[in-house]
Structure 1
Amino acid sequence: MNEKFFDLKKEKQDRMINAALKVFALHGYRHACTDDIVKEAAISKGLLFHYFGSKLGVYAFVYDYSVRYLLLELSTAVDAKETDLFALLQQVECGKMHAMCGYPYLQPFLNRAQTENVSEALLAVEERKQQLEDYLESVFARADLGKYASAEDAVKLRKMLELTIKGLMNERILEDAFQPEMLYEEITEYLNLSRRLAERSTQPSDEAFSEK
């Protein structure tokens, strides 16, 4: 981490972090421009390079910061004893929502980083990216999927839900008044609907009982 950066006032730190998160989330590493970051943050370009040295330095810093901050929120939001898939998904999304209350583009940035194909960007965040993936896998590894579907279908169910959540987020970040709390409420509605459908599909039908 860049210790000098943390000597700045918190308001200025957050302004620079949020500016970088937004630009990288919307444009990706390749097309992100430091001119856009300094304009969004209302700082000089010299100040940005004083603390981070280059665009890659900014990218690596905000990625590292984002993962650290998100993991801290998730450690509070996720119940270590929970085994229900939908409850775990909702708890994870709750942690993300709390993280985005301070940094609205944090999760969109991390999502965008998953599709990066610039080698220097990938190498710069490889270790921290693996740490986040390992944590999430450890959370969902304890999910009792058998109550909703077969093992193969359960994997598809989780994938479908994750894609739905990402799709909702991608839609909302394009809005000028992006609000993490409203996104979380919408995600919760989709999770509740998916839970009801999954539970209904595992219940014996009336026809099955009548045949007996």
Structure 2
Amino acid sequence: MYLEVFQELNEEKRLRIINAGYKVFGANRYAKASVSEIAKEAGIAKSMVFHYFGTKKDFYFFLMDHCYTLFIDAFAHLKVMEITDFFERIETYSQAEMSILRMYPNLFKYIMRFYYERDPEVFEGVMDVITKSLSLGMSMTLDGVDRSKFKSDVDLEQLAKMIRWMGEGISNQFMEFDEKALDVIEREMSSAMNVLKSSLYKEAYL
């Protein structure tokens, strides 16, 4: 019922409320994140946050569900899973992520804060999401890729983890995800992928 009311809002207002949630939850631990601050950031009354989402906890997990939907829809639109070249898939994957971050500039910090959240009120749900997302991320990175292009001693599962850590490390250099920061992240990730490809692919595929 709550979400039905929220979905009836115009797109601009929904986007404003969602971005406010990502910003406040991304800047604070769950217990310290203020619904009043979210409401102020979104330009709505505090009571409307509860009217749209029910509870602070419900809104917190709604934002992660929304995040999931954004990425899954983007990957489906770009047919990421049909790309069999590993590095081409990573590049397309990254382009989708950058496009989403341009629309939701506070999303990355929310995700990182979410993954390290240990508040008892949300801990179990957070752990469930982490387990699901890591499994899905590994699947979307590796399922169906052409492993024959790699040198024989390459551990693709470890490579996928390393690329994820690399992306997080590059992104964590920035306080704000404005256009300039996103351009730098794209360039650095592209450069890193070129180095990895040159090192890990068989010469015939370079």
Do they fold alike, i.e. is TM over 0.5? yes
Change (3 A) 1:180 1:83: farther
| Structure 2 letter corresponding to 1:158 | A
- Tell me the distance in 2 between the aligned counterparts of 1:192 and 1:157: 14
Identical aligned pairs, as a percentage? 26
| Structure 1 letter corresponding to 2:51 | H
Contact 1:21 1:105 in 2 (8 A): yes
> Secondary structure at 1:70's aligned position in 2?
helix
* Bigger-Rg structure (1/2): 1
The TM-score normalised by the length of structure 2 is: 0.80
Equivalent of residue 168 in structure 1, options 146, 166, 170: 170
The residue correspondences of 1:25-174 to structure 2 (distance < 5 A) are 25-124=26-125, 132-139=133-140, 140-145=142-147, 147-148=150-151, 150-151=153-154, 153-172=155-174, 174=175
Q: Which residue of 2 aligns with 1:207?
A: none
- Tell me the distance in 2 between the aligned counterparts of 1:178 and 1:31: 29
Contact 2:115 2:126 in 1 (8 A): no
Q: Which residue of 2 aligns with 1:210?
A: none
**Structure 1 residues 112-160: Cα deviation after superposition (integer angstroms, max 9, x where no partner):** 3222222432444666665544432322233344614525x43332222
Contact 1:101 1:180 in 2 (8 A): no
Equivalent of residue 191 in structure 1, options 190, 193, 200: 193
- The number of residue pairs the alignment matches comes to 199
- Tell me the distance in 2 between the aligned counterparts of 1:193 and 1:60: 37
> Secondary structure at 2:172's aligned position in 1?
helix
